[in-house]
Amino acid sequence: MIRFYERDPYAPIQYSYEVENILYKGKSKFQEIIVVQNPHFGRMLILDGVVQITERDEFFYHEMLTHVVLHAHPAPKNVIIIGGGDGGAVREVLKHKTVEKVYFVEIDEEVINVSRKFFPKVACDVDDPRVEIKCMDGAEFLKGRDADIDVVIVDSTDIVGFATSLFTEEFFTSVKNCLSRDGFYVTLSESLHFHKEIVIEVQETMKKIFPLVDIYTAPIATYAGNWWTFSVASKGALPREMRQKFSINTKYYSDEIHQHAFLPNKMYEKLMKRKLEW
């Protein structure tokens, strides 16, 4: 059996996966796209040598990326998803009946096409009439927008290459400017095991722009470091507080998970003072 060895840009270890079948291999204008079949995880989407989603566990990441902020907002209507070409975040966002419009801003159209074909249960809602697909850089899309967006979700590749435009002070300023009063911004921010300094840097940059910044985590088996962080920001609204009743269908996220996912206050303070010793 052949094996796939992951080339994660910041991981101090290498993950190795059995490959039963290579279902797709191509190169877009932006990146190499591969879909393989693994005996445990099912189909896996790999971009530039890094695992993005697997059929078996994608819901952990997509539910936690989207539902925490969508439940902290009283009635989200307008949502922007940046990246997320596999469609998993779109599927979860559309579970919220209040949502009227989703701008789905993915730089690489090929990722959406490959996902429509090989991950139909993940990309199932990308062609929903509430979704407007924009194939462009998310940072460009946000420039000069009105403040009418309730939730901005960044579901990008790791913080290298063209994804770095989504982690600058300039980008965070554009996000803040387009958010409504109760709005929330959430982004992946790597692992607390392997990338503590990156997590702190993302948080520090967000704190320069947003009045309120917080952090929560989720266990993701296939992302390097596994103990994955999500950085969340707002103009003052509290992400730890649920302003909506939990009533959607999920496999992992729940009202209990919402309360437990946030980093305990003392630990968060220690993290930001660079006093977490591991």
Which residues lie near ligand SAM (CB under 6 A)? Answer: 30, 47, 52-53, 61, 82-86, 105-108, 111, 137-139, 155-157, 162-163, 165-166, 188
- Report the distance separating Cα 136 and Cα 126, nearest Å: 16
Cβ neighbour number for residue 118 with a 10 Å cutoff? 20
Which residue number, 53 or 93, has a Cβ lying nearer to ligand SAM? 53
227-234 vs 101-105, strand pairing mode: unpaired
Cβ neighbour number for residue 155 with a 10 Å cutoff? 25
Which residue number, 198 or 212, has a Cβ lying nearer to ligand SAM? 198
- Closest contact distance (angstroms) between CB of 110 and ligand SAM is 9
Say how far residue 158 (Cα) sits from the centre of its chain: 10
- Closest contact distance (angstroms) between CB of 230 and ligand SAM is 10
Which residue number, 106 or 214, has a Cβ lying nearer to ligand SAM? 106
In the set 150, 155, 158, 214, the catalytic residue is 155
Q: Which residues contact 191 (CB under 8 A, 6 or more apart)?
A: 199, 223, 224, 225, 226, 227, 228, 229
- Closest contact distance (angstroms) between CB of 128 and ligand SAM is 18
- Using Cβ positions, the residue closest to ligand SAM within the complex turns out to be 83
Which has the closest alpha carbon to 212: 239, 230, 192? 239
- Closest contact distance (angstroms) between CB of 22 and ligand SAM is 18
- Report the distance separating Cα 165 and Cα 187, nearest Å: 13
- Report the distance separating Cα 4 and Cα 217, nearest Å: 27
For residue 207, what are its two tokens? 């704190």
Which residue number, 82 or 151, has a Cβ lying nearer to ligand SAM? 82
- Closest contact distance (angstroms) between CB of 214 and ligand SAM is 19
- Report the distance separating Cα 23 and Cα 172, nearest Å: 37
Measure CA of the first residue to CA of the last residue in the chain; give whole Å: 36
Which residue number, 122 or 237, has a Cβ lying nearer to ligand SAM? 122
155 noted as active-site residue: yes
- Report the distance separating Cα 43 and Cα 114, nearest Å: 12
Which residues are tagged catalytic? 155
